[in-house]
Amino acid sequence: MKIVMKVGLTFALCFYLLILSKLILFKYLTTPDIIGHFTFSYEGLYWNSHNFIPFKTITYYLFLANDINFNIRVENLTGNIIGFVPFGFILPLLSSKFHSFKKVMIATFCLSLTFELLQLIFRFGSFDVDDLILNTIGGMIGYIPIKLVSVYIKHRRVEQKSVMD
């Protein structure tokens, strides 16, 4: 049964990463565009279209972006969080190496950083440090139910053991 669960979770993680890649990296591109887009050019790094200042985009969307439709702002902020919730949920189920808050947080941050760097290098979008923050929060939100269930199960085992003694 454990093997079947591991295979299922591995498949779910791979499928999730495929969907996430499409949503983040290739949201505006068709397959031929994607193939032609895999070129690196230093001149192609449009530095002024990226955000390297933490909380700049978040603050702008929450308090200053009256020129941008409210629904677009909410979709952008919540989408960056919601998109990484499954990662924080699946990872600790898949491997015991990811049973700590810190390890899941680091793994989520690294995955998000990978996507942001790919956007920066290959011009699939714009690098935004706030996406790193929001994506990492999303991964941690996904991890919380797993941790709560784990604590509950341990607590129940201790109770059952003390009743039997």
pLDDT in tens, 52-97: 999 999 999 999 988 999 999 999 999 999 999 999 999 999 999 9
130 and 56 in contact (C-beta within 8 Å)? yes
- 61: domain range? 2-164
Q: In the Cβ-directed half-sphere of 44, how many Cα atoms lie within 13 Å?
A: 13
pLDDT reported for residue 27: 81
Token readout for 23 is 């949503």
Instruction: State how many domains the chain has.
Output: 1
What is the mean pLDDT of each successive set of 10 residues along the chain, which is 165 residues long?
Answer: 91 97 83 55 59 96 92 95 98 95 98 96 90 99 97 88 74
Who contacts 92 (Cβ-Cβ below 8 Å, separation ≥6)?
98, 99, 104, 143, 146, 147
**Residue 90 amino acid letter:** I
Cβ atoms < 10 Å from Cβ of 84: 27
